[in-house]
Amino acid sequence: MSELTWLSKSHRPRLNLKNPLNAHKSDDNNVALRLEGSAKETLEQGRNRLVMAGVIFAFCFVILAGRLVGLALSGDGDTARAFPEKSNQKPVAFSDGMRAEIRDRNGVLLATTLKTASLFAEPKNVMDRQELASKLSRVLDDMSEAMILSKLSSAKNFVWLKRNLTPTQQYRINALGVPGLHFKEEEKRFYPMGALVSHLLGYTDLDNLGIAGVEKYFNGQLSGSKETAASELNLSIDVRIQHAMRDELTRHMSMFQAIGAAGLVMDVKTGEILAMVSLPDFDPNRPNDFSSDSKFNKVSLGVYEMGSTFKTFTTAMALDAGTIGLHGGYDATKPIKKAGFLIRDDHPKKRWLSVPEIYMYSSNIGTAKMAIDVGPKNHKAFLGKLGLLEKPSIELPEVGAPILPPRWNSLETMTISYGHGLSVSPLQLSAGVSAVVNGGAYINPTVIRRDPAVGIVARQVIKTKTSDTMRKLMRLVVEQGTGSKAAAKGYLVGGKTGTAEKVEGGRYKRSAVVTSFVSAFPMNDPRYVVLAVMDEPKGNAKTHGFRGAGWTAAPIVGRLVARIGPILGIAPVEEESEKVKRAMFVPINSKGKKVASF
Amino acid sequence: MKMNLTALSLLLVAGVSYGLYQLSYEVQGLEKNLAALDKNISDNRETIRILKAEWAYQNRPDVLQSLATKHLPLLLIAPYQVADLEQVPENVIALSELEPKNVPLPRKKPRRTYKPPKNKPLGSYTLATFSKAGGVQ
């Protein structure tokens, strides 16, 4: 045993150095070098540190390896969280964080948001301004060369040349390959239908926030928030019917040189509005180019004295209250004088008139007497039930409140009975009439497509029997009375004319009238209420100078119903057939001799 | 033996690092691919949006009406033109009709100049038609 030993305190070999020279000589070829004292301690410490570091590294690598193996086996990690394999949620429309679309009841696009490129220039980097201006003016048709040149010549670093280019324009500008021009991506609200659905849709400002119409009312839903995604809106409007209505109104407006017109088509069973037109209208794509007058929604915001169309409510009220029957009547020989007012008839018959005759010939005297019998209190309550005395609730920010008379006594009852002294919006009138014809249930009008599965909240306001009688009376007006021009063969149109002088500065203006025709079809089972209103129509040679509702408003409805009937899937009936005649029969009972008894 | 072990571990290190680099590059490539695909999808969605808007714009009812006026001889549907299936009379075919007959031959060559009769259906209702200027006549 050849050992080099300085101190023999420890028997454990600390450091063994193999001696290659003695390896083959000795039988015990272990040659150990033993270090003791401070040198040993240092060595010991170094070794311990090495071991510790080794252990830590080994530990770390084991963890890493374990994680790697775990990931390889389970595939669990961030990827799984980022792309969930399956979700039971309904697939929602991809929104891109852009304002959602608005569609009509058939899915026709009414409003969408597009990413558009806006062109700006850095005049400093433009090499040849003159050349660029001439090139650009060829691409941008609405900008002249001089205009572009003046913009490019400005001292600024940044000049907007044109906002919201079309994709074709962007492509052509890119193809010019000129330095100094840049695009900035912007979002623009786009209304493909133009002015067609303008008032109902409303419009948005530069930041794509709705500031009118359903764009404003449903701003939260359309733009979405951090918690909820933007979801699209389905309106109850049908663009085909909307177009037919707008087309007819525009035509008749120019024919009678009216300053405005309004129209409404409403489903009497669901309260859905299928068309809502107010003329003059505007293009929501560029609302700033139109006057505030054209942005006024005459259907929901405007309130008017609707004239004789109110006789529908008065007659329904009297028949429902039972103060008079269908066979009764009133003397309409002389005008009524009351508190300095003179109530007279436009088409005086100067005799006793039965209830159907009063309605059919639109007798103010007869209707006023009818309302007096019911009494002011009941009259007010009845009109209140039909939603005519308070602001209607509809999904639009532009809703006008009716203008009620300061007090409601017998004189007011008389004038309101034939539509003067109470101003309501055309929307309220249509909703009221739809309650009168649909069996007597008031249904709140809506511009949102209703889910047929969801029940409709209806409030019974008149008896079903009264409603049935009113349909026949309205049919009578078209068949034999003032509304004969509203007839659309096969569709059993019934309605009531209304001509009211406009109020200006608290006085009635004889020269200006608002004519209206409120109707429903088919009268044997009404499905739709159609309203047409003309603002200040003038008579022409065709109407023999007359400007009354029978001449100016009724024809609109007649033409419109003939146009939209097939679209709405209403089966035409043979109007002359026995069955229909019997169903629509109403005893007119005009017995002149009864005058003697009054 | 020792040399072998060293060589083996060196080889292993080289192999593993090559594999790792390969994997890393592959991931980078895939990520690039994914970003490109995402961009492509959003571009396509944007294009679809534009096309849908364009489609709605081209199909405005007034445009369709003026095109129909120009190119189609269509009129408004008159009430007598509408019927349901039950109103169509059933065509009862007699058995004798079903038996084969001699094939009729035309007496002379069919004329090229043949024009269908011009008789229009007579109705109690005057058919309305769209005018070129818009509206119904």
Could you tell me the two tokens for A551? 């001449």
Distance from C-alpha of A193 to C-alpha of A501, rounded to nearest angstrom: 35
Would you say B50 and A112 are in contact if contact means Cβ atoms under 8 Å apart?
no
Distance from C-alpha of A443 to C-alpha of A432, rounded to nearest angstrom: 9
Cβ <8 Å between A96 and B77: no
Among candidates B56, B79, B134 on the partner chain, residue whose Cβ is nearest the Cβ of A251: B134
CA atoms within 13 A on the CB side of A220: 3
Cβ <8 Å between A563 and B76: yes
- Substitution target in A98, A190, A570, A576 with the highest count of B β-carbons within 10 Å is A190
Distance from C-alpha of A422 to C-alpha of A223, rounded to nearest angstrom: 39
pLDDT in tens, A176-229: 888 888 898 888 899 999 999 999 999 998 888 899 999 999 998 888 887 788
Residue A106: which of A241, A293, A259 has the closest Cα?
Answer: A241
pLDDT in tens, B95-122: 777 766 666 666 666 667 777 667 665 5
Residue A70: predicted pLDDT: 86
Whether the pLDDT of residue B14 is over 90: the answer is yes
Residues of A with a catalytic annotation lie at: 308
Query: Which residues of chain B lie closer than 8 angstroms to A167, CB-CB?
Result: 50
Closest approach of A576 to chain B, Cα-based (Å): 12
Q: Give me the amino acid identity at B42.
A: S
Closest approach of A567 to chain B, Cα-based (Å): 10
Q: Residue A122 class from Cβ within 10 Å (0-12 exposed, 13-18 middle, 19+ buried)?
A: middle
Residue B135: predicted pLDDT: 55
Rounded alpha-carbon distances, angstroms, from residue A147 to A142, A150, A155, A326: 10, 5, 15, 74
Task: Tell me whether A490 touches chain B (CB under 8 Å).
Answer: yes
Closest approach of A151 to chain B, Cα-based (Å): 30
Cβ <8 Å between A167 and B42: no
Query: Residue A436: which region, alpha, beta or left (left: phi > 0; alpha: psi -120 to 50)?
Result: alpha
Residue appearing with tokens 């329904």: A316
Tallying the residues shown for chain B, one arrives at: 137
Residue A240 phi/psi, 5-degree rounding, is -65, -40
Closest approach of A575 to chain B, Cα-based (Å): 10
Residue B130: predicted pLDDT: 55
Among candidates B61, B77, B79 on the partner chain, residue whose Cβ is nearest the Cβ of A240: B61
Closest approach of A148 to chain B, Cα-based (Å): 28
| ipTM greater than cut 0.85 | no
Task: Tell me whether A566 touches chain B (CB under 8 Å).
Answer: yes
Cβ <8 Å between B65 and A250: no
Residue A102: which of A197, A228, A242 has the closest Cα?
Answer: A197
Cα angle at A442 between A439 and A448, to 5 degrees? 115
Rounded alpha-carbon distances, angstroms, from residue B125 to A208, A480, B121, B128: 50, 19, 11, 9
Among candidates A109, A559, A562 on the partner chain, residue whose Cβ is nearest the Cβ of B52: A109
Among candidates B45, B55, B76 on the partner chain, residue whose Cβ is nearest the Cβ of A562: B76
CA atoms within 13 A on the CB side of A534: 33
Residue A103 phi/psi, 5-degree rounding, is -125, 165
Query: Which residues of chain B lie closer than 8 angstroms to A96, CB-CB?
Result: 42, 45-46
Distance from C-alpha of A176 to C-alpha of A161, rounded to nearest angstrom: 15
Would you say A435 and A442 are in contact if contact means Cβ atoms under 8 Å apart?
yes
Residue A598: predicted pLDDT: 41
Cβ <8 Å between A247 and B135: yes
Ranges of residues in chain A with a pLDDT under 70 are: 1-35, 75-96, 590-598
For residue A122, give every residue at least 6 positions away whose Cβ sits within 8 Å of its Cβ, in sequence order, or none: A157, A158, A159, A180, A182
Distance of CA A200 to the CA centre of its chain: 5
Residue A589 phi/psi, 5-degree rounding, is 60, 45
Among candidates B55, B62, B84 on the partner chain, residue whose Cβ is nearest the Cβ of A243: B62
Query: Which residues of chain A lie closer than 8 angstroms to B127, CB-CB?
Result: none
Q: Give me the amino acid identity at B30.
A: L
